[in-house]
Amino acid sequence: MAAPQDVHVRICNQEIVKFDLEVKALIQDIRDCSGPLSALTELNTKVKEKFQQLRHRIQDLEQLAKEQDKESEKQLLLQEVENHKKQMLSNQTSWRKANLTCKIAIDNLEKAELLKGGDLLRQRKTTKESLAQTSSTITESLMGISRMMAQQVQQSEEAMQSLVTSSRTILDANEEFKSMSGTIQLGRKLITKYNRRELTDKLLIFLALALFLATVLYIVKKRLFPFL
């Protein structure tokens, strides 16, 4: 039957191996960690806890080694303790290197994010400038259209005023034409009346001339041919 000390030594060794493997797994997680810093801090907290547990178990094993009755077993266990301490130191070195690698990766990632953010800011600035330029162009176009419409309205008003003036001129000309038409009709009536009177005058003159000639002929007849 195994002595109680041997059982304690075996359990202590098993726990040391367990904690060592857990530390190595956490160190690998740190190497693979890409951030953020809070995740790295959480992993480092776990590693510290495992190192603390590992250190305690190594100290327990060292105490058990000192309590061994046989010098050979004592030296053997002390050698194992020394090996565990060396392994723990190696793990601590790996831990520091993993932290350095992880922090460099996180810094590079943050720089990339900052550069990306700067690109986004520049892109947003360019977009804002483009929108402002587009807005200015649209405003100028609208102002140009407004001026054009104002000119069209003014031209329409001028054309309307010209039409009103032309309409008034036509109305005045129509009134003058009506007046002239009345004058022409009156003149026509006067000419017709004059023509009629002229014909009457000619007829009266003709009759008077005929009467005069008849009178002359009668007088000549009486004087030249009294017997007739």
Asked whether residue 119 is domain-assigned, the answer is no
Domain annotation covers residue 156: no
Within-domain flag for 143: no
Work out how many domains the chain is built from and give that number.
Answer: 1
Please indicate, yes or no, if residue 22 is contained in any of the structural domains.
yes
pLDDT digits (tens, 9 = 90+) for 52-74: 999 999 999 999 999 888 999 99
Q: What is the DSSP string of 165-215?
A: HHHHHHHHHHHHHHHHHHHHHHHHHHHHHHHHHHHHHHHHHHHHHHHHHHH
- Residue-wise pLDDT for 173-206, tens only, equals 667 767 777 777 877 777 777 677 777 877 888 8
Q: Note whether residue 43 is domain-resident.
A: yes
The verdict on residue 2 lying in a domain is: yes
Assess if residue 160 is contained within a domain: no
Give the single-character DSSP code of 70.
Answer: S
What's the domain range around 104? Answer: 1-112
Structural domain contains residue 39: yes
pLDDT of residue 2: 47
For residue 122, what pLDDT is reported? 67
Exposed, middle or buried: residue 209 (CB in 10 Å: 0-12, 13-18, 19+)?
exposed
CATH of residue 19: 1.20.58.400
